[in-house]
């Protein structure tokens, strides 16, 4: 798809001539978050240009290995989950340290497991989808800064051929912890380093580990070994004594990696043939705002946390899924710009919660003193035996338990994640969500002549005799629900919900202009990450 041109802004204030947009949205950063966001927008018919500093021939640095259930549901809504699962390893439980483990088998999801697969496999599928949808990729493009006004954003960048610039309605920085976009809009990135000088390596092993994801910690070290599925393994290690003061640019070698594994896991599995070894530090940071004018942040550009629990990439992908449909709705004229404020209201609290939970896990894992390590051991045993606590923790880590507050007077289901509902015609909800539209689920015998705008809403019926009417957002969260049984009350509630959320009333709508204006202004909603109400 060629970049679309729109007339906005002003080239010459005296003549009043509008400036031309080169595309609708500029996404900076071709990691998982940027690829999912760009692909969603392009599939919705939005013009997208994706800028990436790396040359196309250089792969992204892969650190993530775990794909959680909620992320798999989002990939399922894009027709990608089954292919990803087929090439990875399913873990029934995610073991953290000692006896502590998150049991995924009781998750009420089509994916009751943690998938172990390298980040580059996630990127491969998302990039293929984005290219097919028409995203314009520009590699070897180093962003230098941006300028924005009331009508658009101009992003300045440098390539091997010289300086360039692109103008769009909106820009999204998904360019990682050292985000140029975040710096360009003047946002701080407060926080601190949790662990200094972890070693990171890709190696081969003479002995296969007992699990494709092996992790443990003690008073001396921390180590994690994850399988790529092709004979290579990712190893992350930390040695309290050796690494306490080492800088990220200090030399690192395979002997250090082996030592971390022996100290933390009791053996090094015969590590050999390291294709690369590096050193990094783990930070806890979060931008105070995810939106400044027409510019947004997502993924590591907005928040970064410890690797404990494997939540980093997953949280970024959820950011993208939340933002993409909102940008598309605004750009297509279905919703006002104020809808975009709900991205900050919904996703910033989620990022904060992930910082807290992953930080707590890594701190517990590397407790230093003997008495506190004894408490850790006891806590792990209690955790595994306290069913409700363990299930709630797994729901949050997996993303299944994350919900968004829907405001006073809303139905108890509003804001919650929608499960993969099986429908009357034999289909299921997440297959219908692949169309990128809202899904309205009503009883099979629902009376009335309300016909939602077909380009915005897919209609379906319960397979069961349930009477609740649900309107599910394109990101798989419930926008609205009603249990009203009186036909007139139910029809009015549905009409208002469709008008508010999709920007189009049913064909027999008789709303006044004032009512339409009020319904088209959705309130900003804060996130509720408790998983319950």
**Calpha distance 198→283 (Å, rounded):** 11
Give the distance from CA 488 to its chain's centroid.
Answer: 39
- Maximum Cα interatomic distance, the chain, rounded to a whole number of Å: 75
Tokens of 481: 């629900």
Question: What pLDDT does residue 195 have?
Answer: 74
Residue ranges in 139-253 assigned as alpha helix (H): 180-184, 240-243
Tokens of 400: 């299944």
CA angle 443, 448, 452 (to 5 degrees): 80
Other C-beta atoms lying within 10 Å of the C-beta of residue 133: 18
Of residues 41, 111, 105, 101, the one with CA closest to residue 69: 111
Other C-beta atoms lying within 10 Å of the C-beta of residue 3: 17
Question: What pLDDT does residue 499 have?
Answer: 92
Of residues 418, 391, 432, 407, the one with CA closest to residue 346: 407
How far CA 40 is from CA of 80, 100, 210, 324, in Å, comes to 13, 37, 38, 6
Tokens of 116: 């172990």
Give the distance from CA 522 to its chain's centroid.
Answer: 22
Question: What pLDDT does residue 381 have?
Answer: 54
Question: What pLDDT does residue 99 have?
Answer: 61
Secondary structure (DSSP) of 267-284: --TTEEEEEEEEEEEEEE
**Calpha distance 436→162 (Å, rounded):** 38
**Calpha distance 411→478 (Å, rounded):** 10
**Residues, the chain, total?**
533
**Calpha distance 326→172 (Å, rounded):** 13
Phi-psi sector, 399: left (phi>0), alpha (psi -120 to 50), beta:
left
Of residues 394, 67, 65, the one with CA closest to residue 200: 65
Strand locations in 244-355 (E): 271-286, 291-292, 295-297, 303-304
Query: What are the average pLDDT values for consecutive 10-residue runs of the chain, which has 533 residues?
Result: 36 54 96 97 98 84 85 98 95 72 88 93 96 97 96 95 95 96 97 81 94 82 87 88 66 90 93 90 91 97 83 94 98 95 97 83 59 50 60 87 90 96 96 97 78 90 92 98 91 92 73 41 44 38
**Calpha distance 30→17 (Å, rounded):** 34
Question: What pLDDT does residue 406 have?
Answer: 87
- Note whether 461 and 446 are within 8 A (CB): yes
What is the reported pTM?
Answer: 0.87
- Note whether 321 and 430 are within 8 A (CB): no
Phi, psi of 198 (to 5 degrees): -80, 150
């Amino acid at each position: 798809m060629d970049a679309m041109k729109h007339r906005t802004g002003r080239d010459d204030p005296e003549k009043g001539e509008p400036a031309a947009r080169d595309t609708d949205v500029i996404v900076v950063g071709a990691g998982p978050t940027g690829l999912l966001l760009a692909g969603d927008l392009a599939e919705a018919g939005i013009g997208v240009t994706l800028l990436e500093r790396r040359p196309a021939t250089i792969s992204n640095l892969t650190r993530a290995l775990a794909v959680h259930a909620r992320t798999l549901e989002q990939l399922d809504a894009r027709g990608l989950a089954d292919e990803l699962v087929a090439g990875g390893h399913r873990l029934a439980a995610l073991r953290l340290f000692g006896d502590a483990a998150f049991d995924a088998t009781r998750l009420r999801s089509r994916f009751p497991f943690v998938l172990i697969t390298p980040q580059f496999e996630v990127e491969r599928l998302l990039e293929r989808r984005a290219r097919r949808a028409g995203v314009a990729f520009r590699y070897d493009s180093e962003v230098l800064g941006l300028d924005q006004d009331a009508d658009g954003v101009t992003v300045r960048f440098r390539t091997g051929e010289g300086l360039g610039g692109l103008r769009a309605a909106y820009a999204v920085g998904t360019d990682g912890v050292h985000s140029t976009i975040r710096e360009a809009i003047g946002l701080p990135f407060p926080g601190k380093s949790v662990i200094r000088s972890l070693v990171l390596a890709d190696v081969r092993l003479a002995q296969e580990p007992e699990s494709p994801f092996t992790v443990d910690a003690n008073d001396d070290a921390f180590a994690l070994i994850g399988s790529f599925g092709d004979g290579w393994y990712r190893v992350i290690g930390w040695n309290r004594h050796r690494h306490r003061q080492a800088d990220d640019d200090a030399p690192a070698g395979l002997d250090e990696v082996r030592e971390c594994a022996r100290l933390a896991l009791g053996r090094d599995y015969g590590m050999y043939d390291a294709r690369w070894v590096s050193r990094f530090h783990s930070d806890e940071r979060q931008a105070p705002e995810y939106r400044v004018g027409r510019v947004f942040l997502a993924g590591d550009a907005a928040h970064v946390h410890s690797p404990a629990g494997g939540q980093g990439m997953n949280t970024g992908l959820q950011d993208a899924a939340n933002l993409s449909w909102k940008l598309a709705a605004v750009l297509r004229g279905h919703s006002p710009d104020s809808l975009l404020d709900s991205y900050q209201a919904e996703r910033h609290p989620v990022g904060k919660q992930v910082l807290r939970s992953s930080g707590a896990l890594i701190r517990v894992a590397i407790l230093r003193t003997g008495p506190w390590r004894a408490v850790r051991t006891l806590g792990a045993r209690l955790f595994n035996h306290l069913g409700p606590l363990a299930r709630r923790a797994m729901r949050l880590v997996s993303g299944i338990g994350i919900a968004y507050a829907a405001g006073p007077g809303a139905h108890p289901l509003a804001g919650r994640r929608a499960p993969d509902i099986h429908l009357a015609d034999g289909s299921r909800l997440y297959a219908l969500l692949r169309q990128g539209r809202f899904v309205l689920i009503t009883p099979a015998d629902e009376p009335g002549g309300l016909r939602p705008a077909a380009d915005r809403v897919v209609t379906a019926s319960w397979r069961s005799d349930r009477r609740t009417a649900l309107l599910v957002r394109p990101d798989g969260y419930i926008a609205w629900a009603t249990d009203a049984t009186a036909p007139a009350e139910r029809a009015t509630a549905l009409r208002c919900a469709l008008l508010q959320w999709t920007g189009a009333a049913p064909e027999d709508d008789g709303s006044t202009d004032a009512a339409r204006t009020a319904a088209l202004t959705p309130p900003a909603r804060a996130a509720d990450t408790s998983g319950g109400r």
